[in-house]
Structure 1
Amino acid sequence: MIARFLWLAGVASASIIASNAHAQDTAQPVADSAEQATARGEVIIVTARRRAETAQEVPLAISVIRGDSIEATGNFNVVKLQQLAPTLQVYTTNPRNTSVNIRGLGVPFGLTSDGFEQGVGIYVDDVYNSRVAAATFDFLDVAQVEVLRGPQGTLYGKNTTAGAINITTNQPTFDFEGRAELTVGNLNYRQAKAAVSGPLSDTIAARIAVAATSRRGTLYNTVTNRWINEQDNLGLRGQLLFKPSDNFSLTLSGDYSKQDPECCGTVFVRVGTTQRPITRQYDALVAAINAANPGRNYAVPSRNPYDRLTDLDSNLNAGNKIGGVSAKIKWDVGPGTLTSVTAWRFWDWKPENDRDFTGLSVVSKSQNPSQQDQYSQEFRYNYESQKIDFVVGLFGFKQRIDTQGTEQQGADASRWSLTGTQATTPSILQGLTASNTQWLKSTSAALFGQLSWKVTDALTIQPGARLNYDKKSGFYQRIVTNGAGQVISCTPTPTAGSVLAAQCGVYQPQVSAPSDSAWNFTYDFNVNYKIAQDILAYATYAKSFKTLGINQNGLPLNSDNTVNYAAGTVKPESVNHFEVGLKTQFWDRRATFNLTAFRTDIKNFQATVNGGQFGTVRGYLANADKVRSQGIEADFKIVASDRFTAYANGAYTDAKYKKFTNAPCPPELSGGTFVTGNQTPDAPGQAGNTPSHPTASLSPRACDISGQGLPGVSKWAFSYGAEYNIPVTLLDKDGQLYLGVDGNYRSHWNSNASPSIYTEVKGYALTNFRAGFRGEGFDIFGWVRNAFDVNYIENLQVAPGNTGLIAGQPGDPQTWGGTIKFSF
C-alpha cells in the first residue's frame, strides 16, 4: 500500500463531470481530438462512440458540459451536476448511498448493496468506476463531461441500461501551461485548485493537478454544538505522457481523493401515522421515554426542517478515500487505432451514522466500513474509412469488496421497540450488537463491437452487439451478542415473551453465501439520415440488460421469522429500448435545437426495497415484474453573437412500475398485525388501539404498487442559462465584463421505494447569478447560488421501526462568494 500511495501521489489522475449537450459557453476541443476552425458557429467534439466526432453527428441523445462551465456554475461534483442536465437524477444520503439515474433508471433508489450493478456507467478517461460511491469525489482538472442518455451497452459496458457518464480530463501537453484558482465564500467556504503541464523531454510530457475544498456544515447539532454535513476534500491527479512518434502514445495516470467530513446527518421533517398501535408511534414513544425518565423532557430542537437544527447523538463520519492508477496505450496500426486501457482502483469507506435519526439512544452505533479493489482491462480497435467505421473490443473486470459492519442498540431501545414489562427493562436491548462480516467477488468478461455503414452520403446504418459473462459470489455473516458480550442464538425459535425472543426480534444471527453466474447477449440497431447538412434524424432500438445481483446486506425473513434464502440472488434486468431523435443547427450554427422521444421497458427491474426493520436487512434487492420509462427531451442553445449566449433544456419523464404486485408496503400501510386468510387490511394511516379503532390495525404483507411512479423521478425538469458580456479595458487590461444566470426546476417526486404520502418531496426552482471581469489569462467573478434562498429537500428517509418518523436533508441555503482564476 505504501508503494501504491507513492505512485498515486506521484502520478495522480482522475476526475469526473457530466453534463449538458448544448451547454453553456463556447466549446473548446477535447484533448486528443481534432477540430477544424469554422466561421459558422461552434463545433463540439465528443468521444461518445469511442472516436472523435462532433456532437451533432452522433445519433444519440447526448449532453455535453465543459469543465469551465461546471466551475462557473458551482457544480463541483457529480451530485450537483443534475442542476445542469434535466434527465440526470442524483440523490444521496452519504457518498455510499448515492443514486445516479438517467430518465429515472440506473441505480436502485435507496440504501445500497454491493451485490447489484449501477445502470449508469461512470467512466473517467476510459476507466470504468464500478461503484457510484467511488465516483463522488470533487471534479479536478476536467476538460469535458458527456452524459449519454439511453442504453450504451455495445460500447460502454454490460450495465449501462440507462446511459453513461463519460468524463475526460485535461491531458499532458508539450507546451508549458498552468492554471490556478482560489474561491472563498460564506459558510467558511474555501477552495483552491492548481494544475501545471509541460514537457520533460521531446517525447515525455507531464501534468499534475491538485484541489482542496472545505466548507462549514449546513446543519447545527445541538448535542455536539457544532455544524455538521460539512465539506473537507482533497484531490490529487498526475499524468505522464510518453509519445515517441505521431502514431504511438502511452499515458500513465494516478489519482487520490480524500474526504473526511463530519457527515451525514438529518433533521426532523414530519411524523406520519402508521398502522402501529397508537402507543407505539413516534410521539407516544417519546412521551413514554420522558415519563420513564423524570426531568428528561426530550424533544427535537425544531420541527421545522429549515431551521436546520438536529440533535443526533451518535458519532457521524463519512471518511472516503478513492484512487487508482491506469495505463492507456494508443497505437495507430494500419488503417485503424488500437487502444489498451489497464486500470486498478480502490475505495476505502469509513462511515459512522445515527440510524434512529433522533437524539434518543435507540441505535447507539451504526457503521459499515468497506474496502474495494477493482481491476479492469479493455482492448479496442477503431477503424474508419469512407464507407465503413467500426469499433471492436474485449473487456475484463475483477472486483472484491470487504465490509465489516456494527450496529448496536442503546439505552432507549427497549422502550422504543418492546412492549409490556419488557419495555421498562433497558438491559434487554441495551448493548445488543450485530457484528457483520461480508465480502463480494465479481468477475466479468465481454466481447463487444459496433459498426457504422454509410450506405449513402445521407444514410447510415449502425448495428452493435455485446456478449457478456458475469459471475458473482458473496458471503455474509451476522453474529449477535447481548449487553454482556455473550453470543446469542435464535435457533431453535426462542419461547415467546422471553428475553431471548425480544432480542431475536431485533437482530438475528445469519449466514448466507449467495453465488450465481450468467451469460448475456445484447444488441442495438440505429438508423440515421442526414436530411440536410445540419439536420440529422435517427431511430434506435436496443436490447440491453443489467447483470444479476446478489443480496449482500443480509436476507429478509419469512413470515415464520426464518431466513428467506430464496432472496439471495436477483434476476438480471431485461431491457427493450426505443428512441427517435432530431438534431438540428441553423442560423449559421449559432442556434442548436435537439429533440428526443424515448420509451424503455424493463422486465425483472432490480429495485431496492425496505422492510422497515432495524439491522442490516433494512434494505435489500428484489425484482419488480415490469418498469417503464418514457418521455420527451429538448435541448436548445443559441450563440447570438460574441456578446450573448443562452441555453434552455427540458425533459418530461414518465417512469413507473408497470407491474409490481408483491412490493413492500409504504409506512402508512405498515406496522399493524399482518392479515391472514380473507382478512381485509385497514385503511392507510389507521393507527390501532384508538377510541375510533379499539382493535389492532391489520396490515398487508405486501402491496401492489403497479402504476405508481418510480422513486426519485420528477416528471418535469428544466435547466436554463444565459450570459451577456461587453468589452472593456480595466486597470490597463483588455477584457470583458460579464453577467451570467443559470437555474433549474424539478417537479415533485417521491423518495421511498414504495411511494408514500409521507415521502413526497415538493418541486423547487433554484437560480444562480455570477458577474465578473475576464481577460487573457485571468477571470475574476462573484457568484451567488440559490440566490432567492429557496427552501427545498434533497432527500427524505423513513426511520426504521414503523414509528412514523420521517427524516431528511435540506438542500443548501443561499451561498455566495468570489473566485479568481489565472492561467498561462
Structure 2
Amino acid sequence: MNLMNSSSLACLVGLPICLSLSAPTTVFAQDAAPSSVEGHVEDVVVTAPPADTVEAISQAQATKYQETPQASTVITKSQLEALQITNLLQAQKLEPSLQIRYSNVRNLSINIRGFGAATSNATDGIFGGVPVYIDGVYQPRPGQAIFDIPDLQGIEVLKGPQGTSGGQDSTGGVVNITTALPSFTAQETAEASYGNYNYVQIKGTATGAIADTDWAAFRLSVFGTDRNGYIDNVNGGQKYNDWHDKGARGQILIQPNNDLSIRLVFDYSHINQACCLNLYNGAVTNYANGAAVSNNFFTRIARLNYQPLSANALGNYQTDVNGYTSTAQETEGAAAIINYNINGYTISNVLSYRGWDFHPNNRTDGTIEPQIITNTNGHVTERSVQEELKISTPKGQPVEATGGVFYLYEALYDWGLTTYGSAAGAYYASPTLWATNPALANATYNYLGRQSYDNPKTNEIAPYIQDVWHAAPNFDVTTGLRYSYYDKTMIFRQYQFAAEDLSSFTPAQQAQAIALRNAFIGKNGQYTADTHQGIFSALASASYKFTPDAMGYVTWARGGRGGGPNAVANLPTGAPTTVKPETVNSYEVGLKSAFFDQRLLVNMAAFVMYNQNYITNETSNVGSTPITYLGNAKEAVSRGVELDIRGRPIDDITTYASFTYNDTYFRSFKNSACPYELSYMTTPCDLTGKPLSNTPKFAMATGFEYSHKLDVLESITPKPLVGYFGADFTYQTGTYSNSDDSIYSYIPAYGLLNLHAGVRFEDASWDLSAWAHNALNNHYFINLSAATSIGAGVIGGNVSDPLMVGVTLKAKL
C-alpha cells in the first residue's frame, strides 16, 4: 500500500484519518494465538500493554469484532473515561447509527439503522427491536438500561439482526454494555464531579479477594448524581429537567479452578426527575390545504382570557405551567452468570431476575398555564425472569458451533389515570356548545377523569444455533437458525368518572353530554387480547481474509420483533387489538482492515434492510383529543453505508471517526393515520416513500485526545505527570420525530461540540479534569409534535440540555 497516496486520500475525509496515517508503530493489536486450523491465516502477534490498564482493555475492545462478519462499533473504556460518559444515553453521541429518543424514563426508543422502535411512546405489550444487555442480562424495558451504571467498562453496538447468537431476537441490532469484573487485587477508587446547575456526581468502588482466598472476589460500587433543572417556570416553584440518580451494584466472582467461573450480580437504582415538559412552540391555525383549523388553539384560549408565552422555547427555555410534575423509576435485579469448560466445550448459563417500577406524578398538562389536564399518570410495575443455557464446541476445529435456548417471562401491570381540570369545558367544547350552553360544556368536561388498567404477560422461548465452518485457510462460512415463540396475554379495562352532576339538565342534554364524554375519553369497558406468534430467524455469511489484517464479507441475516396486545386507552373503533410481528431481512457487504502495524483500523459496510409489518404508531383524533395506538406498515426499508475509523498516529494521540449515511423510508404504507396538517382528510394517508422518523439521513461522530508527559514538572511532583486535552464533535441532519412525518415534528440539523482537558499521575492514582458538554450551547428539540396531549394543534416538545461545564477528580488507592 502506498502511504503517500493513502494519506492524501484519507485527508479528504478528516483530521482523525490524517493523523492516523502519520506513524508506523503498533497500538491496537493484542497478543493472539495462532489458529490451530491448518493453513489458516494467522493474526499478527505483537506486544500489548499490561492486561489491566485502561489502554490494554481499550485495545482489546477495539479489536474484538475485527473478524466478525457483521458491522459493529465499540465504545471503549478510554473513550468513556475521557468524555465522562456514565450511561448509554450519553454514549449515543459516539455512535451515529445508534439513535435514542427520550421523553422520560418510560417513554423512550432505541434504534440502530432506523429500526428498533418507531417512536418514543411506550409499548406495554411489545419489546423493542434493539435489545440491550448489561453483562449478558437482557433488560426488557429500555428505561432499565440507559441511565447511570457504575463500573461502566464498554459499550458494543452490533448492527443488523443478531438473534442466532442468542438472547432476545432483534431487528436493528443489539447493544451490549459491560461492567468491570471483581479483582483479586485489593483496590478502592473514588470520583467526584461538580458542574453548573449544581451538578454533583459521586462514585466509589471497592474490590478485592474475599477472606484472603485466591478463588473468591467481590466488587461493590455506589453512585449518586444530582443536577438542578434549567427550564424556568415563570409562575415560580419548580425548575424542570433536573436529575437525581442513586444506585449500587455488587458482585461476587467465584473461580475455584480455570474451568469454572460463577459471577453473582446484584443491583439497585432510583431515578427521580421533574422533567419532560412539552415546551410551547406555537400552534397550527391552517391545514395544508389552506383551510382554517376549526376551534383552534387561539380560539379556545380566548375563552380563557389566556395569553401564552412567546413561542420561543429554544431561545428562553421557559414555561408557565401550573401544577406539579415528576417521574421516578426504580430498578432492581439479581443474576447468576456461570461458565464451565469441560473437554474443550463451554457451557454457559445466565439466570436473572429484573424488576422495574415507574411512578409518575404529573399534575399538569405540561404545556400551558390553564388547568386543562390535571393528571396524566401511568404507574407501571414490571417483573421478568431470564434463563439462557448455551453450549459451545471446542475452538480451533474445522467447524465451531454454539447452540442454546433463551427463555423469558415478563409480567407488566400498568395503572393509568387521566383527569381534567376547571378549564377543560371552555377549552375542549365546540364553539357552538360553548356559545349556546357553557354550563353544559363545563358539566361535560370539567373534572372528568378516566382510569385504565392493562397487564400484558409474556412467555417466550427460543432455541438457536450458530456455527462457523473454516472452509479454506482464508475462507469462513457462518450459518445460524433460530425459532422464537411468543405467548402473550392481556386484559385491558377502563372506566370514566365525573365530578359534575348532569341531573339539572334535560334528558336530551344529558344524553349529549354522555356522548361527548364517551367520544372524548372512552366509555366504560374492557377487552382481552391474546397472541401466539412464531418467528424464524437465520444467518448466512461468507468471509475471506485477503491479508492477515484485511477481511471482506457478505452477510444475510433475518431477525424479528414479536407483536402483541395493543394496550391503549380509548382505542379507536376499528383499530386492531393486537399487532402483528415484524421481520427484517438484512443484506450487508463489508471490509474490516488494519494498516501500519494496526495503528489504523478502518471498517466499512454497505447494507439494505427490508422490514415487513413494521410496527409503528398511528394517531387518530377521537373527539378533540389525539389518540395514539400501534399498527403495522406493510414494509419499511433502511439502506446505507457506514465507516468506522480508529487511529493512533503517535503514542500521544488517539483519534476516531464514525460516519453513517442511512436512507430509511416506508416502501408500502397506504393506510396510515394522517399528520396533523392533513387531518382534515376523511380517508387514510399514504406514507409510501416517506422517511421513517427519528433517523437522520447523515450522522457523524469524530474526536481526538492528546496526552503528553509533563517532564518539566518531574522535580516537583512525587510521580510523573501527564497532561491531556481532547474534543469530540457530533452532527446529524434533520429528522421527523413523529412517525406520521408531520411537518410540525421536524427537527432541523444540529451539531454538538464537547471539550475536555486535565492532568493525571502516570499511574492514574489521581486525575483532575475539566469538561464542557455542548460547548457551543446549541438549543434544539429532542421531540416535537403538533399532537400534544392538549390537542388543538398546539406544537410542543422536549428540549436538549444546554451548555454543561464542570470538573472531575478521580482517585485510585
TM-score by length of 1: 0.87
Instruction: Report the equivalent of 1:15.
Output: none
Partner of 1:391: 402
CA distance 1:819–1:47, shift in 2 (3 Å): closer
User: Residue in 2 aligned with 1:727?
Assistant: 709
Q: Which moved more, 1:221-230 or 1:741-750?
A: 221-230
Measured after TM superposition, the shift of residue 361 of structure 1 is: 1.4
1:793 aligns with 2:804: no
- Contact 2:156–2:176 under 8 Å retained in 1: yes
- Per-residue deviation at 1:205? 0.5
Answer whether contact 2:660 2:699 (CA < 8 A) is retained.
Answer: yes
Q: Counterpart of 1:513 in 2: which secondary structure?
A: strand
Aligned equivalent of 1:547, options 550, 553, 562:
562
- Root-mean-square deviation (Å): 2.8
Could you tell me which residue of structure 2 aligns to residue 268 of structure 1? 280
CA contact (8 A) 2:58 2:76 kept: no
Match of 2:143 in 1: 133
Distance apart, 1:27 and its partner CA: 7.4
Show structure 1 runs of 4+ deviating over 6 A. 24-30, 40-48, 493-497, 614-617
Residue 114 of structure 2 contacts residue 694 of structure 2 at CA under 8 Å; is this kept in 1?
yes
Q: Contact 2:706–2:725 at 8 Å: present in 1 too?
A: yes
- 1:298 CA drift (Å): 3.6
Separation of aligned partners in 1, 2:29 and 2:529: 49
Residues 176/27 of structure 1: CA separation in 2 closer, same or farther (3 Å cut): farther
State the partner residue of 1:88: 98
Counterparts in 2 of 1:401 and 1:46: CA distance versus 1, 3 Å: farther
Query: Counterparts of 1:814 and 1:516 in 2: how far apart (Å)?
Result: 47
The secondary structure found in structure 2 opposite 1:498 is helix
2:519 maps to 505
Equivalent-residue separation in structure 2 for 1:769 and 1:791 (angstroms) = 17
Q: Distance in 1 between matches of 2:587 and 2:65?
A: 20
Match of residue 338 from structure 1: 347
Asked if residue 567 in structure 1 is aligned to residue 576 in structure 2, the reply is yes
Change (3 A) 1:280 1:409: same
Q: Of residues 704, 709, 719 in structure 1, which corresponds to 2:686?
A: 704
Number of equivalent positions: 753
Instruction: Give the aligned partner of residue 743 of structure 1.
Output: 729
| CA distance in 2 between partners of 1:807 and 1:781 (Å) | 37
Q: Which moved more, 1:130-139 or 1:417-426?
A: 417-426
Contact 1:127 1:343 in 2 (8 A): yes
1:417 aligned onto 2:425: no
Residues 446 and 500 in structure 2, CA contact (< 8 A), matched pair in contact too: no
Of residues 395-404 and 789-798 in structure 1, the stretch that sits farther from structure 2 once superposed is 789-798
**How many angstroms does 1:36 deviate by?**
11
In 1, distance between residues paired with 2:30 and 2:106? 34
1:257 match: 269
Tell me the residue number matched to 1:294: none
Paired with 2:378 and 2:66, the residues of 1 have a C-alpha distance of: 45
Q: Confirm or deny: 8 A CA contact 1:302 1:310 kept in the other structure.
A: no
SS at match of 2:80: helix
Q: Within 5 A, what are the aligned runs for 1:231-246?
A: 231-246=243-258
Partner Cα separation in structure 2 for residue 397 and residue 370 of structure 1:
19
Contact 1:414-1:422 at 8 Å conserved across structures: no
8 Å contact kept, 1:126–1:341: yes
- Post-superposition Cα deviations, 1:388-433, rounded to whole Å, max 9, x if no partner, equal 2211111111000001110011111112211246432323211111
Letter in 2 for 1:719: A
Q: Using a 3 Å threshold, how does the CA distance of structure 1 residues 120 and 26 change in structure 2: closer, same or farther?
A: farther
Tell me, in whole angstroms, the C-alpha distance in 2 between the residues paired with 1:445 and 1:130: 14
Q: Does 1:352 align with 2:341?
A: no
Provide the residue aligned with 2:37 in structure 1. none
What do residues 277-296 of structure 1 show as CA deviations (whole Å, max 9, x unaligned)?
54511122112221xxxxxx
Cα distance change of structure 1 residues 274 and 78 upon mapping to structure 2, 3 Å threshold: farther
The answer to whether the Cα contact below 8 Å between 1:266 and 1:809 also exists between their aligned partners in 2 is: yes
Residue 632 of structure 1 deviates from its aligned partner by 0.3
Match of 1:815 in 2: 804
1:768 correspondence with 2:761: no
| Alignment partners' CA distance in 2, 1:53 and 1:494 | 75
Using the TM superposition, give the Cα deviation of residue 74 of structure 1 relative to its aligned residue in structure 2, in angstroms: 3.4
Among 24, 30, 38, the residue aligned to 2:46: 38
Residue 486 (structure 1) shift: 10
> For residue 772 of structure 2, what is the aligned residue in structure 1?
784
Contact 2:28 2:63 in 1 (8 A): no
**Which SS does the other structure have where 2:517 is aligned?**
helix
Superposition pairs of residues 632-651 of structure 1, within 5 angstroms: 632-651=641-660
1-structure distance, mates of 2:508, 2:398: 74
Q: Deviations along 1:645-670, whole A, 9 cap, x unmatched?
A: 11111000001111111111101011
* 8 Å Cα contact 2:464-2:483 kept in structure 1: yes
Point out where structure 2 has 5 or more consecutive residues left out of the alignment: 1-15, 21-25, 32-42, 50-54
Structure 2 distance, partners of 1:224, 1:422, is 35
The residue correspondences of 1:50-129 to structure 2 (distance < 5 A) are: 54-129=64-139
Q: How far apart, CA to CA, are the structure 2 residues paired with 1:372 and 1:630?
A: 35
Q: How far apart in 2 are the matches of 1:348 and 1:130?
A: 13
Q: Deviations over 1:116-149 (max 9, x none)?
A: 1210010111111111122232132011111001
8 Å contact 1:555–1:620 — kept in the other structure?
no
Among 473, 477, 494, the residue aligned to 1:461: 477
Q: Please list, as runs of the form range in 1=range in 2, the aligned pairs for 1:236-315 lying within 5 A after superposition.
A: 236-275=248-287, 278=293, 280-290=295-305, 297-300=306-309, 303-315=312-324
The equivalent residue for 2:8 is none
Q: Aligned residue for 2:541?
A: 526
Q: Structure 1 stretches of 5 or more lacking a match? A: 1-19, 291-296, 488-492, 559-563, 673-698
Instruction: Give the partner amino acid of 2:795.
Output: I
Q: Could you tell me how far apart the structure 2 residues matched to 1:501 and 1:633 are? A: 54
Whether contact under 8 Å (1:266, 1:310) holds in the other structure is no
- Residue 714 of structure 1, aligned match among 696, 702, 711: 696
Counterpart pick for 2:208 among 191, 195, 198? 198
CA distance in 2 between partners of 1:403 and 1:337 (Å): 41
Q: What whole-Å deviation, never above 9, does each CA across 1:230-264 have from its counterpart, x for those lacking one?
A: 01000100001111111111111100010012122
Write the distance in 2 (CA, Å) between the matches of 1:382 and 1:47. 22
Q: Shift of residue 216 of structure 1?
A: 0.9
**1:618 alignment partner in structure 2:** 627
